[in-house]
């Protein structure tokens, strides 16, 4: 994957042997490749690829493609309409060379282009990491022996084991590598070629759940893996600067943003968020910490669009962050689902749920359904409540029983704009559901939305409903993206396609 300045995405469509482009409004076009597996340098749609993988874009707008099974790096010049060979002789072997097209590059997988120097880093199937210089020379810079293994060291002495994709930090001084078979994320200081391990160990998580994978790399303050951060075949990687207001409790307002990585895992079918520096909730030190970001918490595979751990992937591969979003908009190549997925970070709204018992004796005949009934302050249950949410309202976020006249419950929960929630209140209780600053029913204008105020006066009284946060959306009922929950029209309506069906009896 590679994101263009307009927010579109270039995709290496390996199975179709094409390079595709997905525009911000969802239009998909083929930009290069005939679709027939093979090798040919030609005009865009007559050129041939064989199992292309990574894409990197130069400042001049040239697409560099890891043409894996052709053992070459290809260049796509969209302005000239031509595909050419950038590096590699097409031989499945190993040879450095001063002329790029005479080098042997075995099964290139990941690419990272350094804009200020013109160097192109390449991960190869023989576990080496090579560089194609702007001069055309191809050099081996990491894991000179080409033997899969693990060693943090300098340059050629370092060892990797089938590394996948790579990403550069904001000033292009550090190269991050998803070291797949070592289950580690490695960092390469480009000035010295020193390789260090950022997170992970060779061992897989003890179980398939996120609780055995996420946590702090050191210190043990975060809930989760007692052995620190663990991965299960990390493959895709993207670097971004995360705004400090996202879960920031350190008060580091002077920093422009903390460095972070998004990692895809082939075996656990998840997208992970790695904080590289900066204090985060639960971690006492400004070190490395890992958090679940998207994908099944128990490593299940499938295709579900939902919030966070309720969604599902099937072997997510490449990942790319849209520039300028601070990691808020991300694209994931969901390989076995043959889909391009978009992950959008939503800001939650804090809801306050207040429940208190109602003295039904003030309602003649209401207490137990019979005139003159006096409710016991000790033995009778006054009411019950539950709050369910995604996925499919199957997760209970809060529930409780109010059992005596003076009892009240006051809870807070985070609700997300894209999710639907289900509330159930039953019995002799008063319930209020409102945004946190509006939970006081006497609050003035601008205090937020009040979603529900209800009073039950008998044991059998019940109030249940589904709801979403009030917000903007498409309010046009004939639009393709009509949102029945939208509180106001935000201009996002997309024209639909009218389909007319005609049915006839044929006897």
User: What b-and-e string marks burial along 184-204, b requiring 16 or more CB atoms within 10 Å of the CB?
Assistant: bbbbbebeebebebbbbbeeb
pLDDT of residue 481: 77
> If you search the block for the tokens 């990272």, which residue do you land on?
112
What are the CA-CA distances from residue 325 to residues 48, 241, 321, 437 (Å)?
34, 9, 8, 28
Q: Is residue 372 part of a domain?
A: no
Do 111 and 28 lie in one domain? The reply is yes
Do 263 and 395 lie in one domain? The reply is no
Question: From CA 372, how far away is CA 92, in angstroms rounded?
Answer: 91
Do 329 and 415 lie in one domain? The reply is no
Do 315 and 434 lie in one domain? The reply is no
Confidence of residue 466 (pLDDT cuts 50, 70, 90): confident
pLDDT of residue 358: 85
What are 364-373's pLDDT values in tens digits?
554 444 444 4
What are 330-340's pLDDT values in tens digits?
999 999 999 99
What are 187-213's pLDDT values in tens digits?
999 999 999 999 888 877 665 555 556
Q: Decide if pLDDT at 182 tops 90.
A: yes
Do 244 and 359 lie in one domain? The reply is no
- pTM exceeds 0.85, yes or no: no
Question: From CA 454, how far away is CA 359, in angstroms rounded?
Answer: 14
Question: From CA 211, how far away is CA 220, in angstroms rounded?
Answer: 13
Do 357 and 340 lie in one domain? The reply is no
Question: What sign does the CA torsion over 201, 161, 146, 11 have?
Answer: negative
Mean predicted confidence (pLDDT) in 166-170: 97
Q: Which range has highest mean pLDDT (100-104, 269-273, 299-303, 405-409)?
A: 100-104
Boundaries of domain holding 190:
2-201+229-344
Mean predicted confidence (pLDDT) in 178-189: 96
Relative to beta strand 329-334, strand 383-389 is unpaired
Do 75 and 103 lie in one domain? The reply is yes
Do 57 and 35 lie in one domain? The reply is yes
Query: Percentage of the chain surpassing pLDDT 90?
Result: 55
Q: Is residue 368 part of a domain?
A: no
Do 403 and 419 lie in one domain? The reply is yes
Q: Is residue 214 part of a domain?
A: no
CATH of residue 331's domain is: 2.120.10.30
Do 338 and 413 lie in one domain? The reply is no
Q: Is residue 206 part of a domain?
A: no
Do 326 and 453 lie in one domain? The reply is no
Distance, CA of 84 to chain centre:
34
For the chain, what is the domain count?
A: 2
Is-contact 413 400, C-beta < 8 A?
A: no
Phi, psi of 275, rounded to the nearest 5 degrees? -90, 125
Confidence of residue 447 (pLDDT cuts 50, 70, 90): low
Mean predicted confidence (pLDDT) in 475-500: 78
Confidence of residue 31 (pLDDT cuts 50, 70, 90): very high
pLDDT of residue 280: 58
Nearest by Cα to 329 from 320, 318, 338: 320
DSSP code of residue 182: T
Mean predicted confidence (pLDDT) in 462-487: 81
Is-contact 12 54, C-beta < 8 A?
A: yes
What are 273-285's pLDDT values in tens digits?
998 876 555 455 5
Is-contact 122 130, C-beta < 8 A?
A: yes
């Amino acid at each position: 994957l590679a994101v263009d300045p307009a927010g579109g995405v270039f995709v290496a469509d390996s199975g179709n042997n094409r390079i595709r482009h997905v525009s911000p409004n969802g239009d998909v076009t083929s930009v290069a490749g005939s679709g027939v597996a093979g090798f040919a340098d030609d005009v865009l749609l007559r050129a041939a690829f064989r199992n292309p993988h990574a894409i990197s874009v130069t400042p001049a707008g040239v697409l560099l493609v890891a043409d894996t099974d052709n053992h070459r790096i290809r260049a796509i010049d969209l302005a000239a309409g031509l595909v050419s060979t950038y590096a590699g002789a097409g031989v499945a072997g190993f040879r450095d060379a001063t002329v790029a097209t005479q080098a042997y590059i075995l099964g290139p997988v990941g690419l990272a282009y350094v804009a200020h120097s013109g160097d192109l880093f390449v991960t190869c199937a023989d576990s080496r990491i090579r560089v194609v210089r702007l001069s055309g020379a191809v050099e081996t810079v990491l894991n000179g022996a080409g033997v899969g293994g693990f060693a943090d060291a300098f340059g050629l002495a370092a060892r990797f084991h089938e590394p996948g994709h790579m990403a550069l930090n904001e000033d292009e001084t550090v190269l991050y590598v998803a070291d797949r078979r070592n289950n580690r994320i490695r960092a390469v200081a480009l000035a010295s070629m020193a390789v260090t391990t950022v997170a992970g160990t060779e061992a897989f998580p003890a179980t398939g759940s996120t609780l055995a994978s996420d946590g702090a790399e050191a210190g043990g303050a975060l809930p989760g893996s007692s052995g620190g951060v663990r991965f299960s075949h990390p493959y895709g990687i993207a670097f971004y600067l995360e705004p400090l207001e996202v879960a920031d409790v350190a008060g580091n307002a002077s920093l422009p943003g903390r460095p972070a990585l998004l990692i895809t895992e082939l075996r656990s079918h998840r997208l992970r968020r790695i904080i590289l520096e900066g204090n985060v909730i639960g971690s006492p030190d400004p070190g490395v910490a890992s958090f679940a970001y998207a994908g099944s918490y128990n490593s299940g595979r499938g295709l579900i669009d939902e919030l966070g751990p309720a969604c599902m992937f099937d072997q997510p591969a490449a990942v790319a962050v849209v520039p300028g979003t601070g990691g808020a908009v991300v694209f994931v190549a969901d390989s076995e689902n043959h889909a391009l997925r978009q992950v959008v970070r939503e800001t939650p709204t804090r809801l306050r749920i207040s429940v208190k018992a109602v003295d039904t004796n003030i309602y003649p005949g209401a207490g137990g359904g019979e005139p003159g009934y006096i409710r016991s302050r000790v033995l009778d249950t006054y009411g019950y409540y539950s709050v369910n949410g995604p996925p499919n309202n199957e997760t209970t976020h809060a529930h409780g029983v109010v059992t005596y006249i003076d009892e009240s419950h006051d809870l807070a929960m985070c609700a997300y704009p894209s999710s639907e929630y289900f509330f159930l209140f039953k019995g002799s209780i008063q319930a209020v559901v409102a945004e946190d600053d509006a939970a006081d029913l006497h609050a003035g204008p601008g205090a937020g939305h009040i979603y529900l105020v209800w009073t039950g006066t008998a044991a059998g009284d019940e109030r249940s409903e589904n709801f979403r946060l009030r917000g903007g959306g498409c309010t046009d009922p004939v639009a393709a993206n009509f949102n029945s929950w939208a509180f106001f029209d935000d201009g996002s309506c997309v024209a639909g396609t009218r389909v007319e069906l005609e049915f006839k009896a044929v006897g």
